[in-house]
Amino acid sequence: MGHYMLIAVGLGFVAYHATIKYTGQMLDEASMLYATATIIYGAFTVTIGDAGRRALSITVTITIVAVSIIHNCFSIERAFRLFFTSMVFVGFLQCVWLLSTRISDLVALKGMKRLAFYGFSEGVSLPKCAS
């Protein structure tokens, strides 16, 4: 599911940056929001049971849909950015916790850290290369 959401992020990016219209912007931002929610759901469901998964899926779905509707109807950009940044930060912290507590194979852990660092460094360097 996460891979499909990343495809949606790419399509939302194209919808906005090819047209620079408000509708495209909403598609771009909604796709990022939903993809991040999918990743957070996956990261948190590793350690909880079925009842917890159901509760988390309902909570995440209601929250994301509400934020999407509020953002689309009222265009409160600062609140959206704060919410999205908080989601990314919470997802990051959960992934760090999972890596430090659930991975016992040191070679695999080193590889995962290297992959995460590579992804982070590419994300930092690409915007600088484009300007």
CA distance 85 to 87: 5
Rounded alpha-carbon distances, angstroms, from residue 81 to 13, 67, 78, 85: 16, 11, 5, 6
Q: Identify whether the C-beta of residue 16 lies closer than 8 Å to the C-beta of residue 27.
A: yes
Query: Which residue numbers belong to the known binding site?
Result: 17
CA distance 59 to 62: 5
Query: Which residue numbers belong to the known binding site for Zn(2+)?
Result: 17
Type of residue at 5 = M
| Nearby residues of 9 by Cβ (< 8 Å), 6 or more positions away | 28, 31, 32, 35
27's enclosing H/E stretch is helix 22-44
